[in-house]
Amino acid sequence: MRLTCPHFPDGFNVRQIPSRECCVLMMIVLLWPAGSNAAPPGTKSPTTDYTIVVTGGELLKGVYADGHTHFLTRTLAPLGLRCIGSMSVDDQPNDIKEALRFATDRTDLVFVTGGLGPTDSDRTRQTLASFTGITLREHPDVVGELERRYKTPREKLSSGLRRQTLVPSEGTYLSNPHGTAVGLVFETADSVIVALPGPPRELQPMVRDALVKYLDQRFELRPAGCSLTLRFVGIGQSRIQQTLKAQVLLPPATVPSSQFNRGRVDFTFSLPDDTPGNREKLQKLKRQILHHLSDYVYATDKSSLEDHIVRLLESRGQTLTIAEVGSGGSLTSGLSSAIGAEDVLSGAFVAPTEEKLRTLLGVPDDEPTANTSSAQAAEQLAAAAASLAGRQWICAIGKAQQDESGSHFVHVAVRSPNARTETARIRLRTDDTRHARLVTQLLDHLRRQLN
């Protein structure tokens, strides 16, 4: 088989490549962006470009998707850093080394995610030490942090935890307040390789709080142009694009891009230079778009839809109680992660059936339920929650049902502090995104009531 890519315009014969290296190389070729401006093999890019190596056999088996590339590229792009490619490889040392050879031949900066944990299968630390020729040493500050966290003297820490105290002798480490695996920075004469922990709850705060500061000092980052991001809900990408094409005039040199996730759409508009004139152009563009689509825009910054709901409640000085069946507790889980949620989320009742939820809410057994529609049942749940929570916002989600056409749905009832209740029927998807999409629709319905 002969494959081609921007770096091998004449192609190459995979039969001439050993099987293990072939697997890694084929994956890189398939994922590498066509038309990339990356430097050709054997040369270095003069710009602050980087590559990403995501490790983990589970990724290659489809157990879960790679979210690290999305997070890193979105976080680092405004700082003037450009990703020229990302690859996913098995967490075997030889596979990681092959990916690193490919990556470091093209960029001076490489990010590797995963494999820093305490188990024997976490091999990234030792693999990077072997690849770079940089020795590892136990750092007293990292040891001290583990002693404080586990209230255990260092000599009694497990061998797996002690392994996590090893950091590069040439480079530095990035602290991890949310876990035991610190980030590792290997600095060689030709490249910087940064190893980040795999769990998103650890990686993302580390990138924002520690990595960005290190990169700014090491590479003297400068913002790459200026940009405007509008976050939409309750409307599809195609309809937004149609409206932009028909109603909005983009300034010359504007580069639009979009991202769709869980029923939410982000549109970003970028200009190449960060000047007062370009910033004003983007503000004018924002006003144009809001004139036509303001009902669907929930944020013009990085705030999530959950954050937006919390801020709406905070601005009113009000709180929210949730009672859910068909959403399985996912609405409560989503809102609980928002900044400031503890101040506005007063409580939640979650049960697998409406009958059990009624019991949790203290609804008398003799209250009639026969011949009650699903919309009325959701209203009754909201009223019962209000009788316990008092004069505040209530969101009640009834059980998942199927209509005569085969469509799945739930009814949601949102009750305001003045006892006004708005009920809506929300269609359910039947794929793996079911709960995530439902949470988005529930939050959008709640957003419209709060507005």
Answer yes or no: is 251 within a domain: yes
> Total structural domains in the chain?
3
* 290 & 315 share domain: no
Q: What is the pLDDT of residue 1?
A: 36
Answer yes or no: is 231 within a domain: no
- Listed residues 219, 252, 267: the one ending a domain: 219
Answer yes or no: is 235 within a domain: no
* 145 & 275 share domain: no
* 122 & 91 share domain: yes
Answer yes or no: is 232 within a domain: no
Q: What is the pLDDT of residue 223?
A: 65
Answer yes or no: is 225 within a domain: no
Within 8 A by CB and 6+ apart from 62, the residues are none
* 271 & 311 share domain: no
Question: What is the Cα–Cα distance from 111 to 53, expressed in whole angstroms?
Answer: 6
Which of 21-35, 227-241, 403-417 has the least mean pLDDT? 21-35
Task: Give just the sign of the alpha carbon dihedral 151, 155, 158, 162.
Answer: positive
Is 219 exposed, middle or buried, given 0-12, 13-18 or 19+ CB atoms closer than 10 A?
middle
Are 381 and 413 in contact, with CB atoms under 8 Å apart? yes
Query: Which of the four pLDDT bands, split at 50, 70 and 90, describes residue 226?
Result: confident
Residue 143, number of CB atoms within 10 A of its CB? 18
* 156 & 70 share domain: yes
Average pLDDT over every residue of 26-44: 43
The position carrying tokens 């075997």 is: 92
Average pLDDT over every residue of 127-133: 96
Q: What is the pLDDT of residue 371?
A: 62
* 272 & 331 share domain: no
* 205 & 146 share domain: yes
The helix (run of H) or strand (run of E) holding residue 439 is helix 434-450
The helix (run of H) or strand (run of E) holding residue 137 is strand 136-138
Are 148 and 117 in contact, with CB atoms under 8 Å apart? no
Answer yes or no: is 371 within a domain: yes
The position carrying tokens 């580390």 is: 206
Answer yes or no: is 331 within a domain: yes
> Which tokens belong to 168?
């590069």
pLDDT of residue 43 exceeding 60, the answer is no
Q: DSSP class of residue 25?
A: H
Query: Which of the four pLDDT bands, split at 50, 70 and 90, describes residue 41?
Result: very low
* Mean pLDDT for all residues in the chain: 86
- Listed residues 234, 263, 298: the one ending a domain: 298
> Which tokens belong to 225?
């142009």
Q: What is the pLDDT of residue 135?
A: 96
Give 368-418 pLDDT, tens digit per residue.
555 678 999 999 999 999 999 988 999 999 999 999 898 999 999 999 999
Q: What is the pLDDT of residue 85?
A: 95
Nearest to 289 by CA among 277, 298, 280, 297: 297
What's 139's domain CATH number?
A: 3.40.980.10
Answer yes or no: is 226 within a domain: no
Percentage helix, strand, coil for the chain under 3-state DSSP, each rounded to 5: 40, 25, 35
Q: What is the pLDDT of residue 27?
A: 46
- Residues of the domain holding 405: 305-450
Any idea of the CA torsion for 82, 84, 90, 96, to the nearest 10 degrees?
-80
* 277 & 310 share domain: no
Are 322 and 349 in contact, with CB atoms under 8 Å apart? yes
Are 379 and 425 in contact, with CB atoms under 8 Å apart? no
Query: Which of the four pLDDT bands, split at 50, 70 and 90, describes residue 46?
Result: very low
Are 326 and 399 in contact, with CB atoms under 8 Å apart? yes
What's 347's domain CATH number?
A: 3.90.950.20
Residue 354, number of CB atoms within 10 A of its CB? 22
Within 8 A by CB and 6+ apart from 151, the residues are none
Are 22 and 82 in contact, with CB atoms under 8 Å apart? no
Residue 154, number of CB atoms within 10 A of its CB? 15
Question: What is the Cα–Cα distance from 114 to 194, expressed in whole angstroms?
Answer: 11
Any idea of the CA torsion for 11, 16, 19, 23, to the nearest 10 degrees?
-10
DSSP for 168-182? ESSEEEE--TTSS--
Beta strands in 176-295 (DSSP E): 183-187, 192-196, 226-233, 255-261, 264-271
Question: What is the Cα–Cα distance from 331 to 327, expressed in whole angstroms?
Answer: 7
Question: What is the Cα–Cα distance from 199 to 115, expressed in whole angstroms?
Answer: 10
390 vs 52 pLDDT, higher one: 52
* 336 & 284 share domain: no
C-alpha neighbours within 13 Å on the C-beta side of residue 450 = 25
Give 249-279 pLDDT, tens digit per residue.
999 988 888 888 889 999 999 888 889 999 9
Question: What is the Cα–Cα distance from 270 to 278, expressed in whole angstroms?
Answer: 9
Question: What is the Cα–Cα distance from 394 to 421, expressed in whole angstroms?
Answer: 9
Average pLDDT over every residue of 102-116: 96
Q: What is the pLDDT of residue 37?
A: 43
Q: What is the pLDDT of residue 39?
A: 44
Average pLDDT over every residue of 95-117: 95
Give 310-366 pLDDT, tens digit per residue.
999 999 999 999 999 999 999 999 999 888 999 999 999 999 999 999 999 998 876
Q: What is the pLDDT of residue 7?
A: 42
Average pLDDT over every residue of 5-19: 42
Q: What is the pLDDT of residue 160?
A: 84
* 279 & 338 share domain: no
* 281 & 385 share domain: no
pLDDT of residue 180 exceeding 50, the answer is yes
Question: What is the Cα–Cα distance from 354 to 215, expressed in whole angstroms?
Answer: 52
Question: What is the Cα–Cα distance from 206 to 208, expressed in whole angstroms?
Answer: 6
* 181 & 248 share domain: no
Question: What is the Cα–Cα distance from 401 to 389, expressed in whole angstroms?
Answer: 27
